[in-house]
Amino acid sequence: MTGVNALKLPAQESIHHNHRRTRDLYDRIIILKDMKAAKLGKDEVRQIYRKLAGSYDVWANLAESKARKRSLQLADIHDGDAVLEVAVGTGFTFAEILKLNPSGRSEGIDLTEEMLVRARKRAERTGVSGYTLKVGDAYRLEFPDDTFDVVLNNYMFDLIPEEDFLPVLTEFKRVLKSGGKLVLASMTQGQNWFNQIWEGLYQINPALLGGCRGVYLQPYLGSAGFKDICREYISQFMFPSEVLSAVKP
């Protein structure tokens, strides 16, 4: 299974600690096994988010704001950094990046112009200039190698096919500088019964969740060659999210 080697247990640990780690490994493998397939293609996703652009902020505030706030904390952006956000949406996070990095380089891309129209308005209200927001493709980033100190991505991997996780993470790694940080927030599989409501809706009609389903990215970060990988689980409005941070060696 892709990425399972990233979860190998250390050889010298106490029996109790080994048991706990083995159970954790088992739980992670079950999550990987149960991960639902992406049911919508890129063109279908683009069409859905063109329609959702006007109302997306309501959902983001209800169910995603805690994870987005935590992703910014983990990014640890310093003024003067070169920062890229992939899939900026309506600019919910990008505006905060500008506030943290008014003198630095801030770049953002999204799949749809409709989302970017709203992101630009939000960015303008910060009073910060010198940023760039444009249509772009996470699979083929139009930036040279070793460009950014920080790359952020919120709620995109839960839309794309599992077989694309590693290629996209490799592309993110390419544009990061050595020592640069990657931070990701995604819908994940819930830890409680009530979190399963969202997976049930996805099974009925993926478009009801904008095409999102629960994913588990940690082993893929290891397979892509990142280090210092950390994962946090956040539930808001019964919606389960994972926030991960990792460093390019």
In the sheet where 105-110 sits, what is the strand order?
132-135, 105-110, 82-86, 148-154, 176-187, 239-247, 227-236
- Flag whether 80 is in a domain: yes
- Flag whether 239 is in a domain: yes
- Flag whether 109 is in a domain: yes
Number of domains within the chain: 1
List, run by run, the mean pLDDT of 10-residue segments along the chain (249 residues). Answer: 36 41 46 74 89 91 97 98 98 98 98 97 97 98 98 98 98 98 96 82 76 95 98 96 98
Range of the domain at 115: 35-247
Give the CA dihedral 194, 162, 208, 136, nearest 10 degrees: 130
User: Which pTM does this prediction carry?
Assistant: 0.86
- Flag whether 235 is in a domain: yes
The answer for residues whose C-beta is within 8 angstroms of residue 241's C-beta and 6 or more apart is 63, 64, 66, 67, 185, 186, 187, 188, 233, 234, 235
Joined together, the tokens standing for residue 53 give 């652009």
- Flag whether 89 is in a domain: yes
Q: Mind giving me the DSSP string for 178-243?
A: EEEEEEEEEE---SSGGGHHHHHHHHH-GGGGTT------HHHHHHTT-EEEEEEEEEETTEEEEE
- Flag whether 234 is in a domain: yes
- Flag whether 11 is in a domain: no
- Flag whether 6 is in a domain: no
CATH, residue 47:
3.40.50.150
